[in-house]
Structure 1
Amino acid sequence: MTPTFSRRTLLSLGGIAAAGLTLSGCVGGAATTAGADGHASTAPATTLHLVGYAVPKEANNAIQAKFAATDAGRGVVWQESYGASGDQSRAVVNGLAADYVNFSLEGDVTRLVDAGLVDPSWKNGPTKGIVSDSVVVLVVPKGNPKNIHDWSDLIRPGIRIVTPNPASSGSARWNIIAAYQQVVSQGGTDAQAEDYLTSFFRNVVALPGSGRDATNAFLQGTADVLISYENEAILARQSGEDFDYIVPASTVLIENPGAVTKNADPKAKAYLDFVLAPRARSSSPRRASDPSYPG
């Protein structure tokens, strides 16, 4: 079974590791939407501002389309901002409009709680504020020409790695956690895990700003392996990209939070409730290990 570890422990490790490294939306106006009876109706538009990390844009857009077909979603149009999770969180603190936030790390929502923008009770529900999950995977070119199968292969001489920049990207921190923890899970010491990370980063040839930017860099042929979310890999393949990916023997469970801001329009809370409902969650990219994933 693939090992997973507690969110609190892993995020603490991610913060420590990252600290040690130097390395659109729609517009307002009247919206014509379909009501519950299927007939078109004109209603005053409600603009909701979504601020999120880059990876789940397509999944969010698919859920928004389903939400628009409900009574609660009638008349909603979206202003969206996507980028690296940490950068997006800081932008909201600095004044970027947000009704609903969808970040990679819990700490990026906590920053908004500390700034008085999100209620401290945001994670009191049954999902503890988590709206999606995935695992860290190794993405390789079709046919896996460098014969990469596990973490040990990544530190071989000449292997070129792309992973996002931990200074800005939540995806990068999950990747560091996974790389660190796979040593510890096999009985290694913290010192050995740090040595592994040193060797790992010697082979990193690019540190793009976000998980999406890292995927794009890899698809341009700049590296032999991309460290990524599995749901990012699934989405890229569904969009027509041709590559392979490996779920390593040791990986981590990625859990991504969503929350509404204190001054959000009430429809933002309705949207969050919809995201958490089974019919909306089924629109999200699934892990390949999920029996409901179509393959």
Structure 2
Amino acid sequence: MSTTPTWREFAVTSILPMAAIAIVIGCGASGASDKDATATQTLTLGAYTTPREAYGRDILPAFAAQWRAKHGKAIAFEESYLGSGAQAAPLRAGSRADLVALSLEPDVELLAGKGLITGDWKQRAVGGMITNSVVVIGVRSGNPKKIVGWSDLARPGIKVLTPSPKTSGGAMWNAAAIFGAAFLGHVPNLPAGDSAVAEQFLREVLGNVAIMDKGGRESMLTFEQGVGDAIITYENEVLAAREAGQAIDYIIPDATLLIESPAAVVDAYADRHGTRALADAFLDYLTSPEAQRAFAKHGFRPVVPAIAAEYADKFPSVKQPFTIRDLGGWPNVVQQLFAPGAVFERASTPAVR
């Protein structure tokens, strides 16, 4: 990983303590003694905002029930949900999560760079990734602005929402998707392989941005309140909003970026807290069929091929998907797009609010 700091590292001016939500699951299981029921282990999870419902409603209760059935002990979860960059910053400063589930690889690497993650987290199943999604364009019901792809977001008068890369991993995915589509030659009338042209296209899109919220979830809430004509977001965010009754349609551009989101045990804290076995087991559970189906229920594309095949009808195919690796990998993308003074900072001024 490049040692070049990202713009967001310079933007964090205050570190907030982990706002934990503690829940205890499984203490009332039949057949357990009172002593067993009070032998509770606590696992602290630091996660980015968008999978909150998947964890809280399905994954945490199911894992706790499985753990209790196997070990006879209840689990208390302490949960913190913030934008991925905002989550990583306090963890680096001393907030002590046993396990992190973040939006993108560089935020995990920041923790590794501080010596908090000491193992090779990418050696886990599926390269350390637990969910997939794609960058999409959310639009008003019926698509009144007739938006069909990235180039439409640069049209005069189109009001766009996307979160800020200072705090949001989603914003980094969004910007990389727009820049990457242009650079790889997937935007009509733009030549491939020209970074200056791709930067100018990103500038035109960002020039239409009305509001940059702190995270993907906040950005979606702003859109639900009637602000903007289009929102650049994760597919799962749109699906969650529709599940909640919001009248939102979405467009998958012909070429868009595959979002690969990781999880890792924070070795320094898990060992200090004596939760290593529990943290490892929970991380393994996140790629189990049960957890992958729970993620799919909440709009995430499974990373396990066999489970992904079960949901082929739910998730539309992408004509020309590309990955961060097609753009040179995260170290290159961070340095080229998100370092101080790099592409995003140049292109977003004065778009950043």
Gaps of 5+ in 1: 1-7
Is 1:278 aligned to residue 277 of structure 2?
no
Aligned mates of 1:38, 1:280 — CA distance in 2: 26
Residues 75, 145 of structure 1: CA spacing in aligned structure 2 closer, same or farther, 3 A cutoff?
Answer: same
Letter of the 2:291 counterpart: A
Q: Give the structure 2 partner of residue 4 of structure 1.
A: none
Aligned mates of 1:148, 1:288 — CA distance in 2: 24
Q: Secondary structure at the match of 1:183?
A: helix
Aligned mates of 2:251, 2:310 — CA distance in 1: 19
Residue from 213, 216, 220 that aligns with 1:215: 220
Residue from 258, 268, 271 that aligns with 1:253: 258
CA shift for structure 1 position 191: 1.1
Question: Which structure 2 residues correspond to residues 81-230 of structure 1 after superposition, within 5 A?
Answer: 81-186=80-185, 187-188=191-192, 189-230=194-235
Aligned mates of 1:191, 1:68 — CA distance in 2: 51
Q: Give the structure 2 partner of residue 267 of structure 1.
A: 278
Residues 248, 164 of structure 1: CA spacing in aligned structure 2 closer, same or farther, 3 A cutoff?
Answer: same
**C-alpha RMSD of matched pairs (Å):** 2.8
Q: Give the structure 2 partner of residue 292 of structure 1.
A: 310
CA shift for structure 1 position 190: 1.1
Letter of the 1:121 counterpart: D
Aligned mates of 2:217, 2:300 — CA distance in 1: 18
Letter of the 1:279 counterpart: E
Residues 154, 43 of structure 1: CA spacing in aligned structure 2 closer, same or farther, 3 A cutoff?
Answer: same
Residues 38, 250 of structure 1: CA spacing in aligned structure 2 closer, same or farther, 3 A cutoff?
Answer: farther
Preserved contact between residue 131 and residue 301 of structure 2 (Cα < 8 Å): no
More helix by share: 2
Preserved contact between residue 141 and residue 243 of structure 1 (Cα < 8 Å): yes
Q: Secondary structure at the match of 2:100?
A: strand
Aligned mates of 1:185, 1:27 — CA distance in 2: 46
Residues 77, 18 of structure 1: CA spacing in aligned structure 2 closer, same or farther, 3 A cutoff?
Answer: closer
CA shift for structure 1 position 292: 3.0
Q: Give the structure 1 partner of residue 338 of structure 2.
A: none
Residues 95, 227 of structure 1: CA spacing in aligned structure 2 closer, same or farther, 3 A cutoff?
Answer: same
Gaps of 5+ in 2: 12-19, 186-190, 303-307, 315-353
Preserved contact between residue 18 and residue 173 of structure 1 (Cα < 8 Å): no
Letter of the 1:58 counterpart: E
CA shift for structure 1 position 33: 4.4
Stretch deviating more after TM superposition (234-243 or 141-150): 234-243
Aligned mates of 1:159, 1:33 — CA distance in 2: 54
Aligned mates of 2:106, 2:38 — CA distance in 1: 37
Residue from 22, 28, 53 that aligns with 1:26: 22
Residue from 57, 60, 68 that aligns with 2:55: 60
Preserved contact between residue 163 and residue 214 of structure 1 (Cα < 8 Å): yes
CA shift for structure 1 position 223: 0.4
Preserved contact between residue 33 and residue 69 of structure 1 (Cα < 8 Å): no
Residues 184, 71 of structure 1: CA spacing in aligned structure 2 closer, same or farther, 3 A cutoff?
Answer: same
Q: When the two structures are aligned, how many residues end up with a matched partner? A: 278
TM-score when normalising by structure 1:
0.86
CA shift for structure 1 position 27: 4.6
Aligned mates of 2:67, 2:219 — CA distance in 1: 38
Residues 142, 39 of structure 1: CA spacing in aligned structure 2 closer, same or farther, 3 A cutoff?
Answer: farther
Note the alpha carbon deviations across 1:228-265, whole angstroms, 9 max, x for none. Answer: 11112112222222210111101011000101111311
Q: Secondary structure at the match of 1:63?
A: helix
Residues 267, 120 of structure 1: CA spacing in aligned structure 2 closer, same or farther, 3 A cutoff?
Answer: closer
Q: Secondary structure at the match of 1:251?
A: strand
Aligned mates of 1:58, 1:120 — CA distance in 2: 29
